[in-house]
Amino acid sequence: MLKLICFDCDNTLSSIEGIDELARLRGPDVFASVEALTEDAMNGRILIEEVFGRRLECIRPGSADVAIVGRLYIEAVEPTARETIARMAAAGWTPVIISGGFRQAIRPLADFLGVGRVEAVDLYFTGDGSYRGYDRAYPSTRSGGKREIIAGLRAELRPEKVVMVGDGASDLETRPAVDLFVGFGGFVTREQVKTAAAAFVTSLASVPALV
């Protein structure tokens, strides 16, 4: 039977927040405002849907910007992520990345880690690579979206077991939909996640022993 091990991307599989790195490319003022919005959302102070479109309109990332962040994800990868995912795959687990980030930026990291399936938000570009928008209907652009994605994976794949690993409030929302939620604090420790998680780790190498 299929078993799914699902990982958040930003501040879990990699130490960066992709949206913040896109903002950094636009200068310190844009970066500061976007970073503050991201932190408020990840700590549950505001709803993700209240900031998702606002951040992208501030940045208007082009395809070249997204490619830069794709490389940064790999450079900042969690030190044990690749080995952990390989170990779990060998033990019969299918890895999935579930993110409120952007599919085109995350795909290179997924390839590096050996993860076939990425559930993330698509960005749209014009013919010259300029920003044209994003998939506004995608679940992880709103509160509870990662839980919706897991429900969809359960309906599609009928897994025997689903485990979610993540650092933020949007990851914690998956707890009712998974068999085990593992909080991650290797880069950022969020107290609400640490308190509510069934297990909490600071290295992904600790995950296999929990499942």
Q: Is 24 helix (H, G, I), strand (E, B) or coil?
A: helix
CA-nearest of 94, 96, 113 to 14 is 113
Across the chain, the runs of DSSP E, i.e. the strands, are 3-7, 93-102, 117-121, 123-125, 131-134, 161-166, 180-184, 199-201
Dihedral angle sign, alpha carbons of residues 28, 31, 37, 39: negative
Catalytic annotation, residues: 8, 10
Residue the block writes with tokens 């849907």: 49
Instruction: Give rounded-to-5 percent helix, strand, coil for the chain.
Output: 50, 20, 30
